[in-house]
């Protein structure tokens, strides 16, 4: 499996782990206490939980840079910075970072660049070709593709990094089981077909949500209005299957995610079935005290490969029910009912 996944990233070396977080913690062992890691601010909540609650108390230094400040990344790096950690598109805000520019800045400062390519997959984006030193995957997601496996993976072309990761893989022990490796190998056989469907469906769902009266803003790099759209066009083949959007209120976001029927309310992502979730209470609850806490009215969608018409109809019904509920509540509160 290591050889197969490395080849997808056009990498010479691949190291497999028991989970995406297993891969993450192993990469963090390239860093020593007193050294810095600079991360994109809206990093996956589980990574933030690890950096803030496991490694920071041990003396590791972390700085979180918002995506819009990445053009000024050089100013945030110093001689203690060991890794620049990027998610592009990021989880959950779907921010996009210019990987080549970030790699140039990081290398000038003597730091390694790690790109978490879980959202894009190697079908849509090859970070090593853009200058990254290591690419990380939660194979739990698109590479597995069927929500029935937990795994992680790191690809690199750097022999020193590869050798150290192999040693750490063996020494720390976050290794995958053989059946899980088999499931991932089965999954990648359909990666290209699945990704084309995820992208096509996401494009239609994003277009439906964009401008919907019950949606404040859609975060999808495929929309021309997205601030990272041009960069995404340059460094990705297509825009992926993840969409986030802002509902009209925190309460409506919480209720909306429980109202859909085809979109299942669940964490995780990247499987063939569509999922909906509320990051502030679920995947990103651990960012609640961070300056970049997931907004309370944020809803995240993992767009599956079902019929796009069905997915849109389900969302349309769920959003409409919210508007009716708001109107009814409004009538109750103000007594301002002219028609009834």
Ligand X SMILES: Cc1ncc(COP(=O)(O)O)c(C=O)c1O
Binding footprint of ligand X on the chain (CB under 6 A)? 19-21, 44, 46, 87, 91, 116, 118, 138, 140, 150, 152
Instruction: Please state the closest distance from residue 1 (CB atom) to ligand X, in A.
Output: 15
Residue from 277, 331, 275 nearest 306 by CA: 275
Residue 163: left (phi > 0), alpha (psi -120 to 50), or beta?
alpha
46 or 271, CB closer to ligand X?
A: 46
Instruction: Please state the closest distance from residue 327 (CB atom) to ligand X, in A.
Output: 36
13 or 85, CB closer to ligand X?
A: 85
21 or 128, CB closer to ligand X?
A: 21
Whether the upstream peptide bond of residue 89 has omega within 30° of 0, thus cis, is: yes
214 or 299, CB closer to ligand X?
A: 299
Instruction: Write the DSSP string, 244-294.
Output: EEEESSHHHHHHHHHH-SSSEE-S---SSS-EEE-TTTTTTGGGTTSTTPP
Whether the upstream peptide bond of residue 256 has omega within 30° of 0, thus cis, is: no
121 or 138, CB closer to ligand X?
A: 138
Instruction: Please state the closest distance from residue 174 (CB atom) to ligand X, in A.
Output: 10
3-state secondary structure of 35: coil
271 or 322, CB closer to ligand X?
A: 271
Nearest-angstrom CA–CA distance, 115 and 118: 9
Instruction: Please state the closest distance from residue 91 (CB atom) to ligand X, in A.
Output: 4
* Range 166-197 burial, b when 16+ CB lie within 10 A, else e: eebbeeeebebeeebbebbeebbeebeebbeb
Instruction: Please state the closest distance from residue 92 (CB atom) to ligand X, in A.
Output: 9
Instruction: Please state the closest distance from residue 75 (CB atom) to ligand X, in A.
Output: 26
């Amino acid at each position: 499996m290591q050889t197969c996944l490395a080849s997808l990233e056009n990498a010479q070396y691949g190291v497999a782990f028991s989970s995406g977080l297993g891969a993450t913690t192993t990469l963090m062992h390239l860093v020593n206490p007193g050294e810095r890691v600079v991360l994109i601010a809206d990093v996956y909540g589980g990574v933030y939980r690890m950096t803030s609650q496991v490694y920071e108390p041990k003396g590791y230094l972390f700085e979180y840079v918002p995506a819009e400040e990445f053009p000024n990344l050089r100013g945030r790096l110093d001689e203690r910075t060991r890794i620049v950690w990027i998610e592009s598109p990021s989880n959950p805000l779907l921010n996009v970072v210019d990987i080549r520019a970030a790699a140039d800045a990081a290398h000038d400062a003597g730091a390694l660049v790690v790109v978490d390519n879980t959202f894009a997959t190697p079908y849509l984006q090859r970070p090593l070709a853009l200058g990254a030193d290591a690419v990380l995957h939660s194979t739990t997601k698109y590479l597995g593709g069927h929500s029935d496996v937990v795994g992680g993976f790191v690809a690199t072309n750097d022999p020193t990094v590869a050798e150290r990761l192999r040693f750490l893989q063996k020494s720390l022990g976050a290794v995958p089981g053989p059946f899980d490796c088999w499931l991932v190998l089965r999954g990648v056989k359909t990666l290209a077909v699945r990704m084309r469907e995820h992208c096509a469906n996401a494009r239609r769902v994003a277009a439906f949500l964009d401008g919907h009266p019950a949606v404040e803003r859609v975060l999808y790099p495929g929309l021309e209005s997205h601030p990272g759209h041009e960069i995404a066009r340059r460094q990705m083949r297509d825009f992926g299957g993840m969409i986030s959007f802002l509902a009209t209120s925190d309460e409506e976001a919480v209720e909306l995610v429980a109202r859909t029927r085809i979109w299942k309310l669940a964490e995780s992502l990247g499987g063939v079935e569509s999922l909906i979730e509320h990051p502030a209470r679920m995947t990103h609850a651990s960012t609640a005290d961070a300056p970049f806490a997931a907004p309370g009215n944020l809803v995240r969608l993992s767009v599956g490969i079902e019929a796009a018409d069905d997915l849109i109809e389900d969302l349309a019904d769920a959003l409409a029910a919210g508007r009716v509920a708001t109107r009814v509540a409004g009538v109750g509160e103000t007594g301002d009912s002219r028609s009834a």
